[in-house]
Amino acid sequence: MKSASLSGIVRAIGSEARPMPRQRKAYSYIRFSSQRQEEGDSVRRQTEAAERYAAANGLDLDRTLSLRDLGVSAYTGRNIREGAALRDFLNAVERGRVPKGSVLLVESLDRLSRQTARKALRTLEEIIESGVDVVTLNDGKRYTAESLDGMDLFIAMVSMMRAHEESAMKSSRVKASWAARRKRYGSE
């Protein structure tokens, strides 16, 4: 009886002495294009999706970095230029502030970029090559250096092409609408 009790104590002491495995860090990147969207549900929706994914997958959601590009266009690439949250994140990875092996959580790939597919792919590759995986929360897809060497490259490219075409169409419609207004009010 004493030996069973003693071995239980030894096991308990031994488990206390071992360091706990570190949880993989996750960072949530929130972006939308227009100030009008800020009045909607975008921030809450993206934030809650990141929190759910991190909790369900044992990730430590780091809230010390504010990764929000609110009202910042990914169609023009403003979100990847200096001074934007996505660029600041990549700089933090480069400086070691964000550990390699971390995960960047995004609602979908179009949050990273809506530029042409080639430019959007370069943004995704830059993140992944820096040592950070990307998870799209709308489908739970995890993009890694290994997965981009397979079918995920095709999946990402199709998604990026669709996002760019959608934004290009919206841009064209807005330009046409403004041209019609100028013509209507200029001729009266």
The one catalytic residue among 7, 15, 33, 171: 33
Asked if 33 is an active-site residue, the reply is: yes
CA distance 45 to 106: 11
Tokens encoding 149: 């060497």
**List of residues 6+ apart from 179 with CB closer than 8 A:** none
Residues serving a catalytic function are: 33
